[in-house]
Structure 1
């Protein structure tokens, strides 16, 4: 009996629980919805939310050892997967509405989400010490992705969505789960794919959904073991590299998405004056920063480095 208990605790799916099976199933469903929101909202990370709700560690262990009690673990994560799908679809509707005439303003809200979580992410990145080379990695990765996005400019953002681009988008979404703190939506906004993705999900367009799902699954399966190894061996360097990507990609959104909204054409399309558009942007940025900062205080109770 004692050996059986030890074996059960080693399973990636099983955790000590006191809830009855029905309640527990719905709790995992709700956790999935929360993580799904992180996938669809820019500035948030599905991986971070999975950490907070206590699902990241068992999920990564399951994905890294798929053959170990596969059916049992699959049934454990089924409500979580259903919830994640529900969260993505529900918030795709919200996002599509937000990315109408006030796209630039709502982008400021999402950039605020990034700004609010940065202190917590920076603190977490230095939990195992911070060397000058880590700061250099952060600066170089931020500058690199910023220049890439800025110089790439219209050549990248004007590419029409197709199966390959949706497959790549799915790979990015998978990284959002594998790498806590990374928000793929920042990159999708820049590439002009984000609002189209939200519309495709909302309309159940399987030409969008199927390659997204395939790319997501491929990324998670291929990189779960690699990510766990890299974060365990090169924790500080990896986190500072990711922080740089988050900073650079967020800053690149301003000249490519936000600033054009303040031209005469952009203001006319939104029906706003320059002062009104600016106030709207600032208000949403501040709201996003405050909400995200409060959210990050909760996140700090679940240190990310313990899951690798």
Structure 2
């Protein structure tokens, strides 16, 4: 078991609670993105023991963060929305040079890669102008709501694995984000279980696709990933702070986010 993955999981789980921030981005910062994709897609392979040893501590950390920090994230987004978002903007800007270095180690930049990067950035940035669905919190389950939650978890997990695309934001667009956060805060085991099952299925399916693309089209795939990360800045940007206090807190949190990329990098493989 790679127990240091618990710390990595905490970082990824925390980011997945923030609409607009991707756990996949944090995985890239930590230097475990390729291994994460390989491990998830290889759960049912002959090397399953190796992959399980990587994933279980990661899942423990993510679960602990999601269950333990959901109320804190709710509070921060409500009371300190701008500083919280600027922290993640700092993280995202800090990772771009790392992604550029990773790209150069896999391929030579060509015009087609730039086009793919721009398309990826535009696709994610366009989410900033999409109005999230306004849906009441689901408290009673029916067949329809159960299916909605399952497939929402599926789609959300697919987004989680892609740097730059937030699983939480996908849930927000679908309209189930308040339901999921409420279920986590109040430990509604049934709703958590249904969404969790969808997340598990989505992880396995999408990881195989991403692994294939990374293995066969590394340059193009990383171009798109880089574009997704750049485009996510538009989604995360909260607007300019309205008070002097929020300005100070936002600047401090932005710098902290930028610098913490270096700290998180110490846990990389």
State the alpha-carbon separation in 1 of the partners of residues 96 and 15 from structure 2. Answer: 16
Question: Residue 45 and residue 126 in structure 1: after superposition, are their counterparts in 2 closer, same or farther (change >3 A)?
Answer: farther
State the alpha-carbon separation in 1 of the partners of residues 85 and 173 from structure 2. Answer: 10
Q: Please say if 1:116 is aligned against 2:81.
A: no
Higher relative contact order (CA 8 A, sep 6+): 2
State the alpha-carbon separation in 2 of the partners of residues 83 and 300 from structure 1. Answer: 17
State the alpha-carbon separation in 2 of the partners of residues 143 and 58 from structure 1. Answer: 26
Question: Residue 185 and residue 57 in structure 1: after superposition, are their counterparts in 2 closer, same or farther (change >3 A)?
Answer: same
Question: Residue 56 and residue 88 in structure 1: after superposition, are their counterparts in 2 closer, same or farther (change >3 A)?
Answer: farther
Return 182-191 or 117-126, whichever deviates more: 182-191
Match of 1:157?
133
* 1:135-165: CA deviation from partner (whole Å, max 9, x where unpaired): 1112223223433552x43xx4324565455
Match of 1:291?
256
Question: Residue 157 and residue 284 in structure 1: after superposition, are their counterparts in 2 closer, same or farther (change >3 A)?
Answer: farther
Q: Please say if 1:248 is aligned against 2:231.
A: yes
* 1:40-91: CA deviation from partner (whole Å, max 9, x where unpaired): 3553525643873769627724632514265686477444433321122122
State the alpha-carbon separation in 2 of the partners of residues 182 and 65 from structure 1. Answer: 24
Q: How many residues align?
A: 260
TM-score by length of 1: 0.65
The runs of 5 or more residues in structure 2 that have no matched partner are: 138-144
Q: Please say if 1:239 is aligned against 2:222.
A: yes
Question: Residue 104 and residue 68 in structure 1: after superposition, are their counterparts in 2 closer, same or farther (change >3 A)?
Answer: same
TM-score by length of 2: 0.73
Greater CA radius of gyration, 1 or 2?
1
Return 91-100 or 235-244, whichever deviates more: 235-244
Q: Give yes or no for contact 2:22–2:160 (8 Å, CA) kept in 1.
A: no
Q: Give yes or no for contact 1:47–1:176 (8 Å, CA) kept in 2.
A: no
> Alpha-carbon deviation of 1:38?
4.0
State the alpha-carbon separation in 1 of the partners of residues 23 and 109 from structure 2. Answer: 23
Question: Residue 184 and residue 165 in structure 1: after superposition, are their counterparts in 2 closer, same or farther (change >3 A)?
Answer: same
